[in-house]
């Protein structure tokens, strides 16, 4: 019997196809320079998507992450420009700003029982207004601090790049092995071991090939390394701690989680604090890329693209299922499509349409996958 590819394998195959198509249409797509630019471009999207995966697994949603990134970047820029604050203090204040915003969102959602969609939509409007007030009439605040500016403009040495590539492949294999072991420990069915091989081979080939190409240019951007580190830390939190298991349980069945003694309200609040703090980090990265904090930072379709990246990567919109690395995969797909269309000279309208179509396909595949797993006894 021929088994259908897993969700991760499907996304990886889709990513390879996207790269192949755009390379055929424009031979600059897989050049070292463009791949380096691609990784820089997805740094902010991928960071936001890491937080979005967490909140989607919880069975909630956060529409305010772009605005939180913008207001946090404005706080960073104001502290540096007006107070002469050192970079570490300005970054800490920006992240703390995001955490406080997330705390407010979480407390209102849990205490008033209002859907997160409504609260974070209101937060989107409120924090965009605060961002405009902080930035002021000039429209942007230049950032001249070299430490901040270097975050998105530095590269790792080639040797460390190869070490990082091997660690990424090993980490992916380790995650799959741990997942199998955990399911076996709880007497849950596992797919046959050969079904795991295609995803691992695809990851190894893509990671090693991209590393070779990037090392022929400036190397792997440090900001992408930071994204991988964030994803790794969040992955450990979500898969290796009781907190992560509580989040997954709540997303799967909130009432059952409550009856099992899981502190639902507290867990929801903590997730929203983490998501907003991660959004603040994304704001710092974008400010570093732009060398400024502007009133447009975090605007447009950024937060919607973050949701799209999480879902396209394999996280379920229905809650209770997802992995942090889905954020990286989804961001690569969305970023690759947008980058490729830019190279072809297509307008923003085409990019939005393409992203929306891919998102619909991902949601349909997720719904079909849920039905198939339910029919076969997979959770």
Dihedral sign of CA atoms 116, 70, 337, 150 in order: negative
Examine the pLDDT at 280 and tell me if it is beyond 50.
yes
Lowest mean pLDDT of 63-77, 153-167, 361-375, name the range: 361-375
**The predicted structure's pLDDT at residue 188:** 77
Name which residue leads in pLDDT, 365 or 331. Answer: 331
Mean of all residue pLDDT scores within the chain:
88
- The rounded distance, in Å, linking the Cα atoms of 127 and 134 is 10
**The predicted structure's pLDDT at residue 7:** 62
Given pLDDT bands bounded at 50, 70 and 90, which one contains residue 374?
low
Which of 165-169, 277-281, 332-336 is most confident? 277-281
- The rounded distance, in Å, linking the Cα atoms of 108 and 103 is 9
Provide mean pLDDT across the span 201-207.
85
- Confidence (pTM): 0.88
What is the per-residue DSSP string for 219-279? -SBHHHHHHHHHHHHHHHHHHHSHHHHHHHHHHH-HHHHHHTT--HHHHHHHHHHHHHHHH
Provide mean pLDDT across the span 188-193.
78
Q: Are the CB atoms for 3 and 192 separated by under 8 Å?
A: yes
Write out the two tokens for 72: 């946090």
- The rounded distance, in Å, linking the Cα atoms of 91 and 121 is 25
Given pLDDT bands bounded at 50, 70 and 90, which one contains residue 243?
very high
* 7-154+221-370: CATH topology: ABC transporter involved in vitamin B12 uptake, BtuC (1.10.3470)
- Burial (Cβ within 10 Å: 0-12, 13-18, ≥19) of residue 144: exposed
What is the per-residue DSSP string for 124-168? HHHHHHHHHHHH-TTSEEE---HHHHHTTT-B--HHHHHHHHHHH
- Burial (Cβ within 10 Å: 0-12, 13-18, ≥19) of residue 301: middle
Examine the pLDDT at 376 and tell me if it is beyond 50.
yes
Given pLDDT bands bounded at 50, 70 and 90, which one contains residue 3?
very low
**The predicted structure's pLDDT at residue 304:** 87
- The rounded distance, in Å, linking the Cα atoms of 327 and 315 is 8
- The rounded distance, in Å, linking the Cα atoms of 271 and 107 is 11
Write out the two tokens for 195: 């079904």
Using alpha carbons, list the distances in angstroms from residue 3 to 187, 189, 198, 311.
Answer: 21, 15, 12, 23
Examine the pLDDT at 82 and tell me if it is beyond 50.
yes
Examine the pLDDT at 14 and tell me if it is beyond 70.
yes
The residue ranges of every structural domain in the chain are 7-154+221-370
**The predicted structure's pLDDT at residue 369:** 65
- The rounded distance, in Å, linking the Cα atoms of 105 and 116 is 8
Lowest mean pLDDT of 54-58, 95-99, 308-312, name the range: 308-312
Provide mean pLDDT across the span 244-272.
93
What is residue 192's three-state secondary structure? coil
Given pLDDT bands bounded at 50, 70 and 90, which one contains residue 195?
confident
- The rounded distance, in Å, linking the Cα atoms of 246 and 172 is 23
Q: How do residues 42-78 score in pLDDT, each as one tens digit?
A: 999 999 999 999 999 999 999 999 999 999 999 999 9
**The predicted structure's pLDDT at residue 4:** 42
Say what percent of the chain tops pLDDT 70: 95
Provide mean pLDDT across the span 201-210.
86
Q: Are the CB atoms for 88 and 29 separated by under 8 Å?
A: no
Examine the pLDDT at 313 and tell me if it is beyond 90.
no
Given pLDDT bands bounded at 50, 70 and 90, which one contains residue 2?
very low
């Amino acid at each position: 019997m021929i088994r259908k590819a897993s969700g991760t394998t499907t996304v990886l195959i889709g990513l390879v196809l996207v790269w192949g198509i755009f390379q055929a249409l424009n031979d600059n797509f897989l050049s070292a320079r463009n791949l380096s630019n691609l990784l820089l471009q997805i740094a902010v999207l991928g960071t936001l998507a890491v937080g979005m995966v967490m909140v989607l697994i919880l069975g909630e949603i956060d529409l305010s992450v772009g605005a939180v990134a913008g207001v946090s970047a404005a706080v960073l820029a104001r502290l540096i420009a007006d107070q002469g604050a050192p970079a570490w203090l300005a970054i800490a204040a920006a992240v703390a700003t995001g955490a406080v915003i997330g705390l407010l969102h979480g407390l209102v959602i849990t205490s008033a029982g209002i859907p997160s969609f409504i609260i974070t939509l209101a937060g989107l409007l409120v924090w965009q207004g605060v961002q405009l007030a902080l930035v002021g009439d000039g429209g942007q605040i230049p950032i001249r601090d070299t430490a901040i500016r270097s975050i998105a403009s530095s590269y790792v040495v080639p040797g460390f790049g190869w070490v990082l590539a091997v660690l990424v492949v090993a980490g992916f294999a380790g995650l799959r092995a741990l997942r199998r072991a955990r399911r076996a420990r709880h007497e849950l069915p596992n797919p046959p071991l050969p079904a795991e091989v295609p995803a691992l081979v695809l990851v190894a080939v893509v990671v090693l090939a991209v590393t070779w190409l990037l090392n022929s240019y400036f190397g792997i951007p440090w900001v992408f390394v930071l994204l991988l580190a964030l994803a790794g830390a969040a992955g450990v939190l979500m898969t290796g701690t009781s907190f992560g298991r509580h989040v997954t349980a709540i997303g799967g069945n909130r009432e059952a989680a409550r009856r099992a003694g899981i502190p639902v309200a507290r867990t929801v609040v903590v997730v929203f604090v983490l998501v907003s703090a991660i959004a603040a980090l994304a704001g710092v990265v974008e400010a570093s890329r732009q060398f400024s904090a502007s009133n447009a930072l975090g605007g447009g379709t950024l937060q919607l693209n973050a949701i799209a990246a999480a879902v396209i990567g394999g996280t379920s919109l229905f809650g209770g299922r997802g992995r942090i690395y889905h954020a990286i995969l989804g961001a690569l797909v969305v970023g690759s499509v947008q980058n490729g269309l830019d190279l072809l000279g297509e307008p923003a309208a085409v990019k939005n349409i393409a992203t929306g179509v891919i998102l619909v396909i991902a949601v349909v595949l997720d719904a079909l996958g849920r039905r198939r797993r339910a029919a076969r006894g997979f959770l």
